[in-house]
Amino acid sequence: MSEETRFGLEQPFFLHGGDYNPDQWLEQPEIIERDFELMDKANCNTFSIGVFSWTKLEPSDGVFDFGWLDNILNLCEKHGKRVFLATPTGARPAWLGNQFPETNRILKDGTRARWNERENHCYTSPVMREHAARIVTRLAERYGNHPAVCGWHISNEFNGECFCPLCLERFHNYLKDKYKTLETFNQAAWAGFWSHIYTDWSQIDPRDCTLDLLDLEWKRFITVCTVEFMKLETDIIRTYSQAPVTTNMMGFYNGLDYWRLAEACDFIADDCYPSWDKEEPLKVGARVAMSHDMHYAMKNKPFLMMESCPGRPEWCVRKMRRAGEFEREMLLAIGHGADGTMYFQWRKGRGGMEKFHGAVVDHDGSNRTMIFKRVADYGAKLKTLAEIHGAAIQADCAVISDWESRWALMSTFGFQGAPGQEKENDMPLRHYSALWGCHVSIAVIEQVCDFSKYKFLIVPSLYMLKKGVAERLIQFTEKGGTLILTNMTGMVDENNQAILGGFPGNGLRKFCGVWNEDVDCPDPGEQTVMLNGFQLNERNSFPVTGRCEIIHAEDADVLATYGLDFYKGYPAITRKKAGAGYVFYIAADLDEEVLTAFYKLLLMNLKIKPLLPGLPDCVRVAKRSKDGHDYYFVQNFSNELQHLSLSGKMMNIWSGNAKGNKIYLGPGESTILRA
Ligand code: GAL
C-alpha cells in the first residue's frame, strides 16, 4: 500500500494535528495560506475538517456549496496532510432547526427546545434523518476517494436524549421487541409496585422513576438510537469510501454505553480534557490513564486521542499549563495505546464562546507563542517515535468498569454515601488507581468481555450481573486466576431486580464463601478495618471510606475484620481457594493507599512483576511492545526531581544515551526508555 492510500491509524507515523475549521476563515485566504506553513512548523500531519460546517456546505435546504471544501482538501493533499473528514451533523443549520422544528428535541419537561447550540437533534425525526443522509451522501460521493481523506469523523460527541412522541413511540417498540408481551415486561419491571402494571405499551413513561428498570431501559434505548443514527451515516459512507469511520467519545460519559458505540467504529477515538489544576496530578492521571486503557481494550488495538487542548480549555481549567504537564498528558495517551494525539483546535477563532479556548495558533497568528513551540517540539519528538507506532499493550491485570451496572446502581434508591460523598460508583476508578500504583499494565473491560487472557481480575462493585457472568468469573478463578470481588457486587440482575438467595448472587455467595447480609454507609471515621496478623505499609488498621457490608465468612479465610461499633469483629476481607485460583472479597470501601499496598502484596505472590522495579510512588510507567522491543513510558507526576535506579540496560529513546541504570526525571517530566 502506498503512503497515500494508508487509512486511519495505519500511517507509518503517529498522528498529530487537530480540529481545523478553515470554513470560519474563508474571507481571509491569507490566513489559510499561513495555516499550511504553520502546520509544517508545528510538525502536524493530520486534521479533522468540517466538524461544524453544515451551513457552509448547505446554505439553504438542498442548495450545496462544496467549492471551499474542494479547495481545502486539495491544499491538504498538496501539503501532505491527512484528513478525518467530518459529517457535519453535530450542529444543524438555523434553517433546518427553524423550518423543521421537529428536528429540535423535546426536553424532559415536555417542552420543545428551540434551535440553538449543537449536538441536540432528535435522532428519530424523519426530516432530520433525511437531511442528515442527504448531506452525508453528498460528502461521501464527492470525497469518498479523495487522497487526503484517511478516515471519517462521524458527527461530534454524540450525547443527550429526546422525549418527543416519535422517540417515545420508538421506545415502546424497542420494549415490545425485547419483551414481546406486556405481561413479561410488567414482570421484569416488578410493575405491581405502586400499581404500575401497564395495560398498554403507550402508558410507559421513561421519566417515571417508580420502576427503576425504566431508567435503565431508557438509557439502553438511547444508546441503541444513537448507534442507529451513527449507522445511518456510516452505511452511506461505506458505500462510497474505504476509509475507516469513527466518532469522538468523551471518556466515561455516562449517557451512552460506549462499548456499543465502539462496535460501530472501525477504530476508537476519544476526546480528553483533564483538569490538572483541580486535583492532585496522580488523581487526574489515574482517571485519564484508565480511560485510555479502556479505549485500547475496546478493540485491543491502538486508538486516537482525537481532541485534547494544547493550552487551557477555558471551560474547565483556570491555570496555564505547568512545566512538563503538556508533554506528560500527550505521552500518557501514547504510552497507554494512542497512535496519535490531536487538539481542539488548530487555530483560535475570533468569536464565539470558544474564542479563548487554547489552540495551537493563537490570535497573534505566529509560531512564537509558548504553546506553539511546545506543540512543535512535541511534534518533532513524535516524528522520532515512528518505531513505536502500532506497538501493542499486553496486560495481565484487568479491572471491570461496566456501564449498565453503573446505570443500575445509579437508578436504584438507597446506598447514598455520607453527606458530601457521591453516590456514583467510583470504585472501579479507585481500584484502577491503586493497581496503576503497582506499576503494571491494566486492561479496563466490561463484564461481557473475555476474562481468560488475564491473571488478575478486579471486579469493583459490579452491582448488576448479566447472564453467564458469575459462571465465567468462577471459571476464570478455577483455572488459576486471582479474582477480587468487592462490596456491592452481584446484587441485581439485568432487569435491576434484586437477586434472591443472598448476595453476592448467581452462585457467587457459595463460590467466594461469603454472604453479604446488609450494607452500611457510615460517616468518615465511623468504621475501620483491622488486618488479621499482617501489615500493609507498617499499619494494621485502616479507615473505611464509604460503603461497607456486614458479611459472614461462610466458607472463607478472614484476612481482616471491622474494628468498631456493633459489627466489630465481623469479617471485612476474605480469601478462598477455588480450583487452581483464589477469590478475595473486600467488603468495605478502602482508600487507595491500603488498596495499593494490598495489591502490591498480591501481585508479588502471583509473580506478576512491576513493569519497572523500584519506581518512586509519584512516578508511573506504561509499556508498549513491538518487533521484540519493549518501550517504557516513564512519567513524573510530582513537582520534584525524581531519581530512578533501574536494573538492566535501558536506552533513552531521544538522547540515545545508554545511561546504565540511573535516570533523573525533572518535575512533571516524561521520558521513553527502550529495553
Ligand atoms: C469538545 C468538542 C469541541 C470543543 C471542545 C472544547 O467537547 O467536541 O468541539 O467544543 O470540546 O473543549
pLDDT in tens, 329-354: 999 999 999 999 999 999 999 999 99
- List the residue whose alpha carbon is closest to atom 12 of ligand 1: 313
Write out pLDDT tens, residues 448-458: 999 999 999 99
Query: Which of the following is catalytic: 102, 157, 233, 329?
Result: 157
Q: Ligand 1 within 6 A of 344 CB?
A: yes
Amino acid 418: pLDDT: 63
Amino acid 323: pLDDT: 82
CB 43 within 8 A of CB 13: no
- Reported as a pLDDT band with limits 50, 70 and 90, residue 655 is confident
- Reported as a pLDDT band with limits 50, 70 and 90, residue 421 is low
Where are the domains positioned within the chain?
397-606, 619-674
236-240, 362-366, 566-570, 652-656: range with lowest mean pLDDT = 652-656
Beta bridge partners of 208: none
Residue 386, pLDDT above cutoff 50: yes
Catalytic-residue membership of 157: yes
Residue 509, pLDDT above cutoff 80: yes
Residue 284, pLDDT above cutoff 70: yes
Is the pTM here over 0.85, yes or no?
A: yes
Amino acid at 477: T
Q: Ligand 1 within 6 A of 270 CB?
A: no
Q: Which letter does DSSP use for residue 114 in this model?
A: P
Task: Give domain 619-674's CATH number out of 2.60.40.1180, 2.40.50.320, 3.40.228.10, 3.40.50.170.
Answer: 2.60.40.1180
Distance 58 CA to ligand 1 centre (A): 23
Amino acid 416: pLDDT: 74
Amino acid 651: pLDDT: 86
Write out pLDDT tens, residues 481-501: 999 999 999 999 999 999 999
CATH superfamily of 397-606: Class I glutamine amidotransferase (GATase) domain (3.40.50.880)
Q: Is 284 helix (H, G, I), strand (E, B) or coil?
A: helix
Residue 467, pLDDT above cutoff 70: yes
Contacts of 583 (CB under 8 A, 6+ apart): 477, 482, 483, 484, 485, 511, 512, 575, 576
Distance 390 CA to ligand 1 centre (A): 27
Amino acid 424: pLDDT: 64
Share of the chain above pLDDT 70, in %: 97
CB 250 within 8 A of CB 156: no
Write out pLDDT tens, residues 520-539: 999 989 999 999 999 999 99
Amino acid 648: pLDDT: 75
- List the residue whose alpha carbon is closest to atom 4 of ligand 1: 344
Residue 422, pLDDT above cutoff 70: no
125-139, 414-428, 651-665: range with lowest mean pLDDT = 414-428
Amino acid 1: pLDDT: 36
Pick the atom of ligand 1 nearest to 250's CA.
7
Q: Ligand 1 within 6 A of 271 CB?
A: yes
- List the residue whose alpha carbon is closest to atom 5 of ligand 1: 344
Distance 239 CA to ligand 1 centre (A): 29
Averaged pLDDT score across all residues of the chain = 95
Pick the atom of ligand 1 nearest to 52's CA.
9
Alpha carbons 560 and 543: distance in angstroms, whole number: 12
Q: Ligand 1 within 6 A of 179 CB?
A: no
- List the residue whose alpha carbon is closest to atom 3 of ligand 1: 344
Q: Between vectors from CA 571 to CA 570 and to CA 575, what angle results, nearest 5°?
A: 165
Residue 236, pLDDT above cutoff 50: yes
CB 584 within 8 A of CB 556: no
Query: Which of the following is catalytic: 217, 307, 549, 669?
Result: 307
Grid cell 449498565 is found at 404
Amino acid 654: pLDDT: 86
Distance 357 CA to ligand 1 centre (A): 9
Testing ligand 1's pocket by substitution, the residue of 24, 344, 357 carrying the most ligand atoms inside 8 A of its CB is 344
Amino acid 514: pLDDT: 98
Testing ligand 1's pocket by substitution, the residue of 53, 117, 271 carrying the most ligand atoms inside 8 A of its CB is 271
Considering only residues 414 and 114, tell me which one the structure prediction assigns the higher pLDDT. 114
Amino acid 647: pLDDT: 75
Write out pLDDT tens, residues 59-98: 999 999 999 999 999 999 999 999 999 999 999 999 999 9
Amino acid 5: pLDDT: 66
CB 621 within 8 A of CB 615: yes
Distance 52 CA to ligand 1 centre (A): 11
Share of the chain above pLDDT 90, in %: 92
- Reported as a pLDDT band with limits 50, 70 and 90, residue 426 is confident
Amino acid 659: pLDDT: 56
Q: Is 185 helix (H, G, I), strand (E, B) or coil?
A: helix
Q: Ligand 1 within 6 A of 313 CB?
A: yes
Distance 110 CA to ligand 1 centre (A): 28
Amino acid 202: pLDDT: 98
Instruction: State the cell numbers at 95.
Output: 434553517
Alpha carbons 281 and 289: distance in angstroms, whole number: 12
Distance 485 CA to ligand 1 centre (A): 37
Amino acid 246: pLDDT: 98
Pick the atom of ligand 1 nearest to 156's CA.
8
Residue 2, pLDDT above cutoff 60: no
Testing ligand 1's pocket by substitution, the residue of 354, 356, 360 carrying the most ligand atoms inside 8 A of its CB is 354
Amino acid 173: pLDDT: 98
